[in-house]
Chains A and B, each alone.
Chain A
Amino acid sequence: NAGVMQNPRHLVRRRGQEARLRCSPMKGHSHVYWYRQLPEEGLKFMVYLQKENIIDESGMPKERFSAEFPKEGPSILRIQQVVRGDSAAYFCASSPPAGGGNQPQHFGDGTRLSIL
């Protein structure tokens, strides 16, 4: 499968625990984006990363949330001390480096996070 890969597909955590969501971009893509989708709502941008750099984190909550895209390995979205309001589907998208930023973004199938 050459698409955007996200894991796990489903993640259950208790309040106060940490959640780690992983995203491997499409082959040849070096730009990664994270979006959150609450029930009955559209996707909301969280953060845009390139390898080893956070480019735009304007949509990311200031506390408890962090993201990284290391030189090797997948991008990680980390949520510390989860609360019930963090329950949502988290989607990762990727795009190739060419095109001056106007390449379309391709999405994975998401991680559905449930907080007990």
Chain B
Amino acid sequence: QKEVEQDPGPLSVPEGAIVSLNCTYSNSAFQYFMWYRQYSRKGPELLMYTYSSGNKEDGRFTAQVDKSSKYISLFIRDSQPSDSATYLCAIKPPEGRRALTFGSGTRLQVQP
């Protein structure tokens, strides 16, 4: 079983839709959760960084963590064509190790 599972998509939505992106993880020791956005031929760009269970909001983006279910989500409201990219969830283990474990990424296409 992979440490982090992420549906690769592609996910195609119309402009203005609410997008839900999800990852599950297997190791309850993971404590820090991140979402990165990666445009084609570019590096991952940090969108959200959370520690505790619950929601964290930043503009049109909301990150949600459910540690009891080992489930993390990223919601994008009022999606725009410029949101078309691959979204990667990443998880960091507890203190002492810094290697991030990434999901395989979900490709999102927002149709104008």
Binding site for B on A (CB under 8 A): 4, 6, 31, 33, 35, 40-45, 48, 55-56, 58-59, 91, 95, 100-102, 104-110, 112
Contact = CB atoms under 8 A, between A and B. Distances in A.
Nearest to A4: B43
B44 A91 contact: yes
Given A102-B92, A110-B43, A42 B99 contact: no
B94 to A, nearest CB: 9
Interface residues of B, number: 28
A45 B88 contact: no
A105 B44 CA distance: 10
Contacts of A59: 99
A42 B105 contact: yes
Contacts of A104: 34, 46, 49
B99 A101 contact: no
Interface string B84-112: 00001010100111111111110000000
B46 A45 contact: no
Contact of A91 (B34, B43, B49, B99): B43
B71 interface: no
A23 B36 CA distance: 20
B43 A109 contact: yes
Interface string B8-45: 10000000000000000000000010101000011111
B51 to A, nearest CB: 8
Instruction: Name which of B43, B51, B101 has the most chain A CB atoms within 10 A of its CB.
Output: B43
Interface in B35-85: 36, 41-46, 49, 51
B95 to A, nearest CB: 6
5 closest A-B pairs by CB: A42-B102, A45-B99, A107-B43, A109-B43, A42-B104
A112 B43 CA distance: 11
Instruction: Name which of B4, B101, B102 has the most chain A CB atoms within 10 A of its CB.
Output: B102
Contacts of A101: 95-96, 98
Contact of A109 (B42, B102, B104): B42
A104 B32 CA distance: 9
